[in-house]
């Protein structure tokens, strides 16, 4: 089976005094053994999607499959292939991680010897071995989050569905989980919901951007990074350039436009490395200028995402 997740025309309407359409005809397919970032602001539909994927919510319309198994028709077959963290993880405070995972493992029908081995293994992976027999009620939010990731991996599922897995972690903890995600995605599928765009950008192969229940973008991270390539260069000189030199720079074919600020320039160009090299050679070799800063400026995923959201909101506001 090539696809780990398939959503087909999923719509979810919460009925009440005012019907709320949380998801509107959402469709996507996630290939196996990839890491996918599912990004959106609060209320975008991320958690609703994950709740439908884990059979906590039923869609109003549409079908959802995990490795070809229809979640509504074959929930046991589908869900045994998943490890999940949903929203803020909660545990029985009077149990330890070991006791919690023994309980969960027995529910899953795991062999006791194998279960003992896996508990030790997953707690080591999330760097929580020394806390394995402590009561979870003593844990910080970040420690609970690591324990939740450990239990999600307990039965070695081929698919991890993680809702904000770095929630509550300090920068060191976030960096560790990020490195862990990079390792995990080598031999399984990771579907990662988050609002921390910078964190996701470093982990995922594919990005899905959602706003107000509709998909705005769905593409490979490499392709999106190509879209984000620098189109401006900030250049600063040791000395202020004269008007004649400014005109020579302005007339260079590779430069589309130029903004001047004392001894600094903002140059617009086509974003290619070749053009950037030609511009730098021209400034240093041809004009003999002393360049102190030559910095191509990239948008970054967060800026790209915000622009898409604003464009989408403006289009919907204009209807």
CATH number at residue 269: 3.30.70.100
Beta partners for 21? 13
- Between 32 and 224, where is the model more confident? 32
Flag whether pLDDT at 24 surpasses 80: yes
% residues pLDDT > 70 (the chain): 91
Residue with tokens 């879209």: 227
d(CA 155, CA 263): 61
pTM: 0.75
Asked, for residue 305, whether it belongs to a domain, the answer is no
Q: Do 210 and 249 fall within a single domain?
A: no
Among 65, 51, 74, 59, CA closest to 7: 65
Cβ burial of 209 (10 Å; 0-12, 13-18, 19+) is buried
Question: What sign for the dihedral angle of Cα 94, 98, 100, 102?
Answer: negative
Write the DSSP symbol of residue 23. Answer: E
Q: Do 149 and 290 fall within a single domain?
A: no
pLDDT band, very low/low/confident/very high, at 132 (cuts 50, 70, 90): very high
Q: Do 137 and 32 fall within a single domain?
A: yes
What CATH number has the domain bearing residue 11?
3.40.50.300
pLDDT band, very low/low/confident/very high, at 25 (cuts 50, 70, 90): very high
Residues 6+ apart with CB under 8 A from 55: 71, 72, 75, 78, 79
Beta partners for 296? 233
Helices and strands: H and E segment counts in the chain: 11, 14
Asked, for residue 265, whether it belongs to a domain, the answer is yes
Residues 6+ apart with CB under 8 A from 51: 57, 86
Q: Do 95 and 215 fall within a single domain?
A: yes
Residue 205 near residue 36, CB atoms below 8 Å: yes
Give tens-digit pLDDT for 214-266: 998 888 877 776 666 667 899 999 988 899 999 999 999 999 889 887 778 98
Domain residue limits at 261? 229-297
Q: What is the pLDDT of residue 319?
A: 53
Give tens-digit pLDDT for 146-188: 899 999 999 999 999 998 888 767 777 788 788 888 888 888 9
Q: Do 149 and 205 fall within a single domain?
A: yes
Total domain count for the chain? 2
Q: Do 66 and 171 fall within a single domain?
A: yes
Asked, for residue 311, whether it belongs to a domain, the answer is no
Instruction: Give the residue from 178, 196, 226 where a domain finishes.
Output: 226
Q: Do 193 and 250 fall within a single domain?
A: no
Asked, for residue 175, whether it belongs to a domain, the answer is yes
Flag whether pLDDT at 109 surpasses 60: yes
Q: Do 92 and 124 fall within a single domain?
A: yes
Q: Six-digit token pair at 251?
A: 């007339």
Flag whether pLDDT at 49 surpasses 90: yes
């Amino acid at each position: 089976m090539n696809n780990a997740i398939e959503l087909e025309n999923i719509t979810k309407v919460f009925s009440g005094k005012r019907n709320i359409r949380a998801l509107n005809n959402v469709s996507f397919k996630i290939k196996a053994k990839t890491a996918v970032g599912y990004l959106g602001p609060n209320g975008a539909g991320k958690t609703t999607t994950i709740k439908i994927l884990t059979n906590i919510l039923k869609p109003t319309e549409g079908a959802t499959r995990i490795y070809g198994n229809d979640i509504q028709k074959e929930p046991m077959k589908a869900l045994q292939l998943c490890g999940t963290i949903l929203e803020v993880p909660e545990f029985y405070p009077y149990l330890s991680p070991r006791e919690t995972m023994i309980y969960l493992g027995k529910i899953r029908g795991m062999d006791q010897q194998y279960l003992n081995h896996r508990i030790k293994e997953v707690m080591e992976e999330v760097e929580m071995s020394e806390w394995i027999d402590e009561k979870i009620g003593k844990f910080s939010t970040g420690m609970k989050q690591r324990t939740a990731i450990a239990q999600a991996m307990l039965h070695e599922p081929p698919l991890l569905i993680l809702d904000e897995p770095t929630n509550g972690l300090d920068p060191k903890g976030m960096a560790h989980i990020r490195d862990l995600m990079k390792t995990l995605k080598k031999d399984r599928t990771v579907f990662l919901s988050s609002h921390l765009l910078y964190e996701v950008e470093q982990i995922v192969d594919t990005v899905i951007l959602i706003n107000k229940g509709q998909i705005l973008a769905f593409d490979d991270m490499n392709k999106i990074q190509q879209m984000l390539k620098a189109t401006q260069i900030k250049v600063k000189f040791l000395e202020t350039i004269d008007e004649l030199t400014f005109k020579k720079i302005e007339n260079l074919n590779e430069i589309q436009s130029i903004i001047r600020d004392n001894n600094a320039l903002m140059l617009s160009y086509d974003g290619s490395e070749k053009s950037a090299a030609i511009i730098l050679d021209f400034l240093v070799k041809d004009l003999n200028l002393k360049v102190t800063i030559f910095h191509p400026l990239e948008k970054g995923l967060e800026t790209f995402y915000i622009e898409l959201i604003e464009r989408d909101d403006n289009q919907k506001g204009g209807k």
